[in-house]
Amino acid sequence: MKRSQRETEDSARQIGRRSLVLGGLFAGTGAVLAGRMRYLQVERADDFRLLAEENRINIRLLPPARGLIFDRGGVLVAGNEQNYRVTLVREDAGDVDEVLAELARIVNLDLVTLDRARQEIARRPPFVPVTVADRLSWAEISAVAVNAPALPGVTPDVGLSRIYPMGGDFAHVVGYVGPVSDYYLEQTGDTDPVLQIPDFQVGRNNIEARLEPTLRGSAGTTRVEVNAGGRIMRELDRDPADPGSDVQLTVDAGLQNYVEARLSGESAGSVVIDCQSGEILALASAPTFNPNLFVRGISTGAWNGLNADPYRPLANKATQGLYPPGSTYKMVVALAALEAGVIRPDETFNCPGHLEVGNRRFHCWRRGGHGRMDMVQAIGQSCDVFFYELAQRVGIEAISAMARRLGCGVRHELPLSGIAEGLAPTMDWKMQNRGASWVVGDTINASIGQGFVLSSPLHLAVMTARLASGRAIQPAIIRSIDGISQLPEPAPELGFDPAFLTHIHQGMWNVNNDRRGTAYGSRVEVAEYKIAGKTGTSQVRNISTAERASGVVSNNDLPWDRRDHALYVGYAPFDNPRYACAVIVEHGGGGSAVAAPIARDILLRAQVGDIPPPELYPSSQRHDIERMHRELPILPSPPVPAGRTVRSQA
Catalytic residues: 327
DSSP class of residue 307 equals: H
In the beta sheet, which residues pair with residue 161?
81
Pairing of β 201-203 and β 220-226: unpaired
In order, the DSSP letters of 378-426 are HHHHT-HHHHHHHHHHH-HHHHHHHHHHTT-SS----SSTT----B---
Instruction: For CA atoms 335, 337, 339, 344, give the dihedral sign.
Output: negative
Q: Using CB atoms within 10 Å of the CB of residue 61, give its burial: 0 to 12 exposed, 13 to 18 middle, 19+ buried.
A: middle
3-state secondary structure 65-102: CCCCEECCCCCEEEEEEEEEEEEECHHHHCCHHHHHHH
How many angstroms separate the Cα of 626 from the Cα of each of 346, 500, 604, 610? 42, 39, 14, 13
Measured in degrees and rounded to the nearest 5, phi and psi for residue 59 equal -105, 120
The 3-state DSSP composition of the chain as helix, strand, coil percent (nearest 5) reads 45, 20, 40
Coil, strand or helix at 269: strand
Pairing of β 247-249 and β 69-70: parallel
Please, are residues 117 and 199 in contact by the beta-carbon 8 Å criterion? Answer: no
Instruction: Report the distance separating Cα 583 and Cα 568, nearest Å.
Output: 5
Helix 384-394 crosses helix 440-447 at what angle (to 10 degrees)?
130
Whether residue 573 is preceded by a cis peptide bond, meaning omega within 30 degrees of 0, is yes
Please, are residues 270 and 582 in contact by the beta-carbon 8 Å criterion? Answer: yes
Coil, strand or helix at 444: helix
Whether residue 488 is preceded by a cis peptide bond, meaning omega within 30 degrees of 0, is no
Please, are residues 427 and 439 in contact by the beta-carbon 8 Å criterion? Answer: no
Measured in degrees and rounded to the nearest 5, phi and psi for residue 350 equal -95, 135
